[in-house]
């Protein structure tokens, strides 16, 4: 069974939190605050935080800036993953992915189904990798943020988690990029 291997050191990663919303400001951003509290509470570093409007080009612009920043290892976004006309987060994320992590969305919906039933079908939670940066997008509710962090990301972003985790393979995410001579 999977578990924390206490013989391994904890490795803090640098995480940026993005809230996708046309209406929230920092004071009213409960979902973003939920993620920030969990990220820092787990011992990771909050590298940046932003609220971005539900506009694909704005989401992509912020993602590209964070992907290019060597001080950011992971991006977790909340909001804009539904099926309404303004929900464009999955499209924005997909446009920057080098590789999709399909299992994240599948696992998120499976876990969510156990709590909210078939309503989880409205979620288009997604994840991928670009430029050596992990990218995760979850629904905009605090409950969805708690579920994504507590049941998936908390474990996969902990170097001690066995049998495997995302942190231990971070150095290999860019091995397809050939060094310039």
User: Is residue 6 domain-resident?
Assistant: no
C-alpha to C-alpha distance for 91 and 146, rounded to whole angstroms: 23
Judged against a pLDDT cut of 90, whether residue 177 lies above it is answered with: no
User: Is residue 179 domain-resident?
Assistant: no
Alpha helices in the chain (DSSP H): 30-41, 56-68, 89-96, 102-116, 142-148, 154-156
Average pLDDT over residues 170-179: 84
User: Is residue 7 domain-resident?
Assistant: no
Domain containing 126 equals: 12-170
Judged against a pLDDT cut of 80, whether residue 99 lies above it is answered with: yes
Sign of the dihedral through C-alpha 122, 137, 44, 37: negative
User: Is residue 178 domain-resident?
Assistant: no
Phi, psi at 166, each rounded to 5°: -70, -30
Identify the pLDDT of residue 123: 95
C-alpha to C-alpha distance for 170 and 173, rounded to whole angstroms: 5
Q: Which of 50-54, 82-86, 91-95 has the lowest mean pLDDT?
A: 82-86
Residues, the chain, total?
A: 181
| Entry pTM | 0.95
User: Is residue 83 domain-resident?
Assistant: yes
Q: Quick check: helix, strand or coil at residue 48?
A: strand
Judged against a pLDDT cut of 70, whether residue 91 lies above it is answered with: yes
Triad 135, 69, 21: Cα angle to 5°: 50
User: Is residue 128 domain-resident?
Assistant: yes
Contacts of 91 (CB under 8 A, 6+ apart): 56
Judged against a pLDDT cut of 80, whether residue 88 lies above it is answered with: yes
Identify the pLDDT of residue 181: 59
What is the per-residue pLDDT across 114-169, written as a single tens digit (0 to 9) for each?
999 999 999 999 999 999 999 999 999 999 999 999 999 999 999 999 999 999 99
91-to-31, 55, 82, 83, 167 alpha-carbon distances in Å: 21, 10, 11, 11, 25
What is the per-residue pLDDT across 41-77, written as a single tens digit (0 to 9) for each?
999 999 999 999 999 999 999 999 999 999 999 999 9
Give me the number of domains the chain comprises: 1
We report the CATH number of the domain holding residue 20 as 3.40.980.10
Q: Which residues lie across from 114 on neighbouring strands?
A: none
Place of tokens 């509710």: 141
Identify the pLDDT of residue 39: 98
User: Is residue 2 domain-resident?
Assistant: no
C-alpha to C-alpha distance for 67 and 135, rounded to whole angstroms: 9
Identify the pLDDT of residue 149: 98
User: Is residue 36 domain-resident?
Assistant: yes
Judged against a pLDDT cut of 80, whether residue 105 lies above it is answered with: yes
C-alpha to C-alpha distance for 72 and 109, rounded to whole angstroms: 26
């Amino acid at each position: 069974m999977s578990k924390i291997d206490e013989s391994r050191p904890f490795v803090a990663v640098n995480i940026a939190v993005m809230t996708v919303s046309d209406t929230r400001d920092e004071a009213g951003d409960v979902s973003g605050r939920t993620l920030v509290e969990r990220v820092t509470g787990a011992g990771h570093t909050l590298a940046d935080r932003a609220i971005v409007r539900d506009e694909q080009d704005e989401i992509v612009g912020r993602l590209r800036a964070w992907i290019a920043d060597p001080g950011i290892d992971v991006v977790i976004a909340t909001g804009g993953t539904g099926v309404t006309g303004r929900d464009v987060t999955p499209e924005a994320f997909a446009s920057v992915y080098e590789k999709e992590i399909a299992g994240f969305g599948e696992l998120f919906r499976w876990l969510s189904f156990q709590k909210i039933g078939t309503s989880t079908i409205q979620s288009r939670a997604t994840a991928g990798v670009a430029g050596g940066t992990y990218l995760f997008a979850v629904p905009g509710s605090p409950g969805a943020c708690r579920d994504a962090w507590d049941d998936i990301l908390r474990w996969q972003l902990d170097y001690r988690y066995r049998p495997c985790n995302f942190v231990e393979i971070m150095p290999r995410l860019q091995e397809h990029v050939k060094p310039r001579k």
